[in-house]
């Protein structure tokens, strides 16, 4: 679905990839409803939009609040007249610890944001999207959704749930005008740790140094996601690391898992 003159909802629009998606969509001629629970961050996104700000609405919503999400479609329609697309981008990571040391509160928070928030948004907007002559849903999973990352096991489980949910949704909508895409970003240069409410990530500097491939800028990630949306891609692998590790995982999943473990084991608390 070409985004020009379409109305697109983007979650996590206050920072990172979400902010860049909002700005890139506006540059391509879309009208955008940016959703985030951080009002100040949404104001910053709106300021960065410059003259395109007239085509942007901002909505302070916690996507884990099902009632608030259920009310959101009418707010977007009131602002723009309709809704043609939804990009479920919002997501958080967990504290970088083994599952044995991870609190249930952190487990529930990650699952609520990454999976249930995405589910609530999809359920809320799908009836409206089905009424449009063309519509598109993009769900952002992760490289961690197909490859196990020690210290991010619950995060990976939530993103694996996004993968299967999106692929199932795609199959259910094959005979409709709604297209569905699942996205697998690799390492992206965002502040996901701080945006996830984590004060620090143990060994984050060492992790950056050991990467053979530098993190992709969020602007480039946003462009790849929108390009995939416009080409009605089934899957989009964002970054060379995501593409490469997807290939290795399909070829030899156990070897790929051991490779990532070797890369990450020094970052895990003893």
Torsion of CA 145, 146, 150, 152, to 10 degrees: 0
Active site residues: 155
Which residues of the chain form beta strands (DSSP E)? 7-11, 31-36, 56-60, 85-88, 135-140, 178-185, 235-238
Residues with Cβ < 8 Å from 243, sequence gap 6 or more?
186, 237
Q: CA gyration radius for the chain?
A: 18
Q: Are 3 and 85 in contact (CB under 8 A)?
A: yes
Helices (H) and strands (E) in the chain, counts: 11, 7
């Amino acid at each position: 679905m070409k985004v020009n003159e379409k109305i697109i909802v983007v979650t996590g629009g206050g920072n990172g990839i979400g902010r860049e998606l909002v700005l890139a969509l506006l540059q391509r001629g879309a009208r955008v409803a940016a959703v985030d629970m951080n009002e100040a961050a949404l104001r910053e996104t709106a300021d960065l939009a410059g003259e395109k700000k007239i085509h942007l609405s901002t909505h302070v919503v916690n996507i884990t609040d099902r009632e608030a999400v259920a009310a959101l479609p009418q707010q977007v329609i009131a602002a723009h007249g309709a809704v043609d697309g939804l990009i479920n981008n919002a997501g958080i990571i967990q504290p970088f610890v083994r599952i044995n040391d991870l609190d249930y509160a952190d487990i529930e928070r990650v699952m609520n944001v990454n999976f249930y928030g995405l589910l609530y948004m999809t359920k809320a907007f799908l009836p409206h999207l089905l009424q449009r002559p063309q519509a598109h849903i993009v769900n952002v999973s992760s490289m961690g959704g197909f490859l196990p990352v020690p210290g991010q096991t619950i995060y990976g489980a939530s993103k694996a749930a996004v993968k299967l949910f999106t692929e199932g949704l795609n199959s259910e909508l094959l005979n409709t005008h709604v297209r569905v895409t699942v996205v697998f970003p690799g390492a992206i240069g965002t502040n996901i740790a701080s945006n996830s409410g984590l004060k620090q990530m143990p060994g984050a500097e060492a992790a950056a140094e050991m990467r053979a491939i530098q993190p992709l800028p969020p602007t480039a990630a946003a462009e790849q996601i929108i390009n995939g949306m416009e080409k009605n891609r089934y899957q989009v692998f964002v970054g060379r690391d995501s593409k490469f590790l997807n290939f290795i995982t399909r070829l030899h999943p156990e070897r790929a898992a051991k490779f990532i473990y070797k890369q990450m084991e020094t970052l895990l608390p003893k």
